Structure 1
Amino acid sequence: MLPPSWTPPNTPALKPTPDPLTPDRDITHQHFQPGDQVVVLKGVAGGDLWGDAMHVVAPSWHTPTDEDGWRLRDPDGGQQTYITAHPRYLVHLSRRCPDCIIYMRALSDYLLPKFPATEEVTDCGWYTTTGLNQLVHSSDARSDR
């Protein structure tokens, strides 16, 4: 007999959901600066958008997209304290930025009606992290990496 499955508390439920907005987001590398606090939106929780808060550290080449990216630091540490991400994955937390607000509003309008407003944390499955600690959106994943 198999032991019962166990999921650690606060583990997001994975519910793959298409993301039509992030892949087409036109945001430049210069939009973010070292020291900025950002979030990588990954899903929903409690009727609102949910994601990982990070600090922008330094410019870094984003190998999966062959474009300028940013080295990010997770202030809470963890298994992947530092990752590299493409600018279109990021949203400002440290300031009210019109571009980021428009993107967040569009993502909210698209995503929130698809999920009931419960306390469950839902990961929509948009991102994975490569062996090089590079955050990759599902639309940017390449089979040659």
Structure 2
Amino acid sequence: MTEPSRPPTTPTVVAPTPDPLTPERDITHRHFRPGEQVVVLKGVVGGDLWGDSMRVVTPSWHTPTDEDGWRLRDPDGGRQTYITAHPRYLAHLSRPCPDCMIYVRAMGDYLLPKYPASDHVVDCGWYTTTALGQLVHVNDARGGR
């Protein structure tokens, strides 16, 4: 996987794509620790997976799923520097982790054949951020939120 954060000048194409892996992923809150660097996979760019790189900060209740989540910090700032996310949305970047490596590889096997290499960022449309600053996968959204 290349650098996970998208350069701001890269054209983005939103391509709604089913996500068969993340909603069924069985990763507990204890899998991550404060200070670890993680990625939220969102799509493809340049023939590789793309996502947002963040740092795990502190435990935080994930209201959309009513489960333990993590408060994450985007080191590049942006519109939303801090968000809360469910652990199943995250994959380790800061250390080799068999569970996360399997997940990232499976995502690559699923997505990369669908989108040929180009300079466009392909956003699969899996995530939105709520008014409470919580990252929500489309499968976890309540009532269309």
Task: Indicate the structure with greater helix content.
Answer: 1
Q: State the Cα distance separating 1:144 from its structure 2 match.
A: 8.1
Unmatched tracts of structure 1, length 5 or more: 1-7
Matched, 1:87 2:87: yes
Unmatched tracts of structure 2, length 5 or more: 1-7
Matched, 1:75 2:105: no
Map of 2:25 onto structure 1 = 25
Map of 1:126 onto structure 2 = 126
Q: State the Cα distance separating 1:9 from its structure 2 match.
A: 2.8
User: Alignment RMSD, CA only?
Assistant: 1.2
User: What TM-score do the two structures reach when normalised by structure 2?
Assistant: 0.92
Matched, 1:63 2:33: no
Q: Percent identity?
A: 76
Tell me, in whole angstroms, the C-alpha distance in 2 between the residues paired with 1:74 and 1:115. Answer: 26
Does the Cα contact within 8 Å between 2:11 and 2:119 map onto a contact in 1? no
Matched, 1:37 2:23: no
Tell me, in whole angstroms, the C-alpha distance in 2 between the residues paired with 1:100 and 1:54. Answer: 15
SS of 1:100's partner is: helix
Moved over 6 A (4+): none
Structure 2 counterpart of 1:68, which letter?
Answer: D
User: Which deviations, in whole Å up to 9, do the C-alpha atoms of 1:21-67 show, x marking residues without a partner?
Assistant: 00000000000000000000000001010000000000000000000
Q: State the Cα distance separating 1:11 from its structure 2 match.
A: 4.2
Structure 1 counterpart of 2:101, which letter?
Answer: I
Map of 1:100 onto structure 2 = 100
Equivalent pairs counted in the alignment come to: 138
User: What TM-score do the two structures reach when normalised by structure 1?
Assistant: 0.92
Map of 2:4 onto structure 1 = none
Tell me, in whole angstroms, the C-alpha distance in 2 between the residues paired with 1:29 and 1:74. Answer: 19
Map of 1:46 onto structure 2 = 46
SS of 2:101's partner is: helix
SS of 1:30's partner is: helix
Q: State the Cα distance separating 1:120 from its structure 2 match.
A: 1.1
